[in-house]
Each structure stands twice: as C-alpha cells, then as structure tokens.
Amino acid sequence: MADGFDALIKAFSGIGIDEKAIISLLGESHPEHRQNFRKGCRDFFIEDERSFERWDDHRVKLLKHEFMRFKNAVVLWAMHPWERDARLIKEALIKGPQAYGVIVEVACTRSSDELLGARKAYHSLFDHSIEEDVASHVDSSERKLLVALVSAYRYEGPKVKDDTAKSEAKKLAHAIKNADKKNLVEDEEIISILSTRSKLHLKAVYKHYKEICGKNIDEDLTADLILLAAVHCLCIPQTYFSMVLDASLTHNADKKVKKGLTRVIVTQADRNMKEIKEEYQKLYGVSLSQKIEVTAKGNYRDLLLTLLARGN
C-alpha cells in the first residue's frame, strides 16, 4: 500500500486535483487502508488528542478550493467573453486592492470593442457602470488611473506620431525622476498617456524611454505595482501573461495567485496564446505545456492543456 500512499499524496498535492486517481485509490480501499493512509500522511492529517486522525483544517480549505478549479475553468470557458470580463472586474472590486491588477489586465489587454462589450455586460449584470463602481469602490490613490483605464476606447489603427511618442517618453522619465515630489499613480500626465494613447503608440513610448534612460520603464516602476501592471499589459502583454502564469504555477503560491492560471489560459486561449507560449519558453527555459503537465493534476490539467493547444 506504500505505493498507493505516494500516489494519493501526489493526487492531493500541487495545483489541481487528480480526481481519477483519488477515485481509483480511495474508492476501492478498505477501512484499515484509509486509516493507514491517514496515519502515514502527516501533511494532511493531525493526530487528535482523542486518538483519531483528523484532517488539518487548513488543508481541507485548500482542497475544497482545488476541487473547484476544474469547475470554475469550465464555467469561465463557456461564458461569453464580455460577461467573463465583467465578472472578473466585479470580483476584483469585491476582493479589494490586492486584486486591482485584474482590472488593469482586462482594461489594458482587450481591444477597444472588447472592453466596450465588457462595459455593456457589466450594465446588464450589475445595474451599474464599471466606471461608477470603480470610482465608488476604490478609495486609494489608484482610483483616477483605474477609472481612466476602464473608460478607454483607444485608436487601433497603424498610425503613430514618433515625435509625440518621444516627447511623452521624456515626460514619463521626468515624472519618474521626480517621483518623490508627486505620487506617480496620481500624475495627470501619466494617466492621460496610459489611458488615451493607442497600444502601438505606447510601444513606441516604451522604446524611446529605454533610449533616453538606458533601461526599460518597468525597471523604474517597481514601487508602483498598478502602474507597472498597466505598462506591462499595454506594451508587453505576452511578458505580463507569462509572469502571471509562472507565479501561478509555483507549488507554494497562495490561492489568489493560483487563480491566475485559470484566468489567463481561459481568457487568452482564443487570442494570443501562441505569443504567450513563445515568451514563456524564452523567459523560463521550459515550455508552458510541460510546466502545466507536471504541476497541475487530473481533469483540470487536461482542460488547460486542451485550451493551450488551441494557440498552436
């Protein structure tokens, strides 16, 4: 039964649950086998003072969450993209500041029409506008930037005024250099540039900033996480998504971080997954499918890999 113990521990561990293995190994086991499993699996069970082995409460909470991952991924995948994005923003507002990066992600990585669609869906679902709820729920310095980002309807044509992009790169460099005098996330000029310019224009600004300062703008924004997320999502989204995925695929990641795996795979499977996979391989030296294969489990893993293959 020792091999069975190892298989059960593996089935219960990591990101996602190997449901088939648990059914096979536990479903056919005898009472004494399950007792031996409990006694031999101190990661999951605690010896109670009344002489029985009980589940570790913390582990039970984690397992409940892990069993839900497959269901949540299926629900999100079946959902209309407008509704999905509207619900992601609503959930982020409910969870508070630690989840505001998801609002930035939706606002900055969708096309203008997709973001408009999310705003329409939000009206229908919650009887408020996204702008209204962001303004009323966010009471921190990020409010103006977040409202501006979710309100955006960017030009998506090919034209870029390079002189303007260079001028705005200089303005950003000046603002960042003087960040001790004014909170960057509340700087009207920064908000205007990030929330109104086309993504092609912002990529030109990103390029000119490096030419002017000798390093990428994100290297100077490490203390301003919302601004950093906005720049990443607008200028180098494939890098942003690769970083979210890698963080979510670490064994010791908390459940909020782990949710990024489902969110990114489901929302990007029909979009730019090919670019994300290429960037992930370049950044981390392993293919994203291999990483998911060894980290996720069961039906959840199989669904992720199926969605990932759509980007080939």
What is the residue type of 14?
G
Distance separating alpha carbons of residues 166 and 180, to the nearest angstrom: 23
DSSP class per residue in 174-193: HHHHTTTTS-GGG-HHHHHH
- Average pLDDT for residues 25-42, to the nearest whole number? 82
295 Cβ contact partners less than 8 Å away, ≥ 6 residues apart: 14, 15, 16, 249, 251
Sign of the torsion angle spanned by Cα atoms 44, 265, 140, 173: positive
Which burial class, exposed, middle or buried, applies to 163 when counting CB atoms under 10 A from its CB (0-12, 13-18, 19+)?
A: exposed
Which of 103-112, 153-162, 296-305 comes out lowest in average pLDDT?
296-305
Provide the pLDDT for residue 1: 47
**Domain residue spans in the chain?**
85-236, 239-309
Q: Are 71 and 79 in contact (CB under 8 A)?
A: no
Q: Which CATH number is 85-236's, of 1.10.275.30, 3.10.180.10, 1.10.220.10, 3.40.50.300? A: 1.10.220.10
- Average pLDDT for residues 138-157, to the nearest whole number? 96
φ/ψ region of 237 (left if φ > 0, alpha if ψ in -120 to 50, else beta) reads alpha
For 55-109, the pLDDT digits (tens) are: 888 888 888 888 888 889 999 999 999 999 999 999 999 999 999 999 999 999 9
For 120-145, the pLDDT digits (tens) are: 999 999 999 999 999 999 999 999 99
Distance separating alpha carbons of residues 149 and 262, to the nearest angstrom: 23
Distance separating alpha carbons of residues 204 and 235, to the nearest angstrom: 9
For the chain, first and last CA: distance in Å?
41
Residue 57 three-state SS: helix
- Average pLDDT for residues 27-55, to the nearest whole number? 84
Which of 25-29, 56-60, 132-136, 183-187 comes out lowest in average pLDDT?
25-29
Percent of the chain with pLDDT over 70: 97
* Predicted confidence band of residue 311 (pLDDT cuts 50, 70, 90): low
Strand stretches in the chain, DSSP E: 45-47, 53-55
- Average pLDDT for residues 237-246, to the nearest whole number? 98
The radius of gyration computed from the CA coordinates of the chain, to the nearest angstrom, equals: 23
pTM for this structure? Answer: 0.89
Please indicate whether the domains covering 85-236 and 239-309 agree at the CATH topology level. yes
Nearest CA among 128, 172, 169, 171 for reference residue 150: 128
In this predicted structure, the answer to whether residue 236 has a pLDDT above a threshold of 70 is: yes
In this predicted structure, the answer to whether residue 3 has a pLDDT above a threshold of 70 is: no
Of residues 1 and 237, more confidently modeled: 237
Distance separating alpha carbons of residues 259 and 177, to the nearest angstrom: 35
Name the maximum alpha-carbon separation found in the chain: 76
Arithmetic mean of pLDDT over the chain: 91
CATH superfamily label, 239-309? Annexin (1.10.220.10)
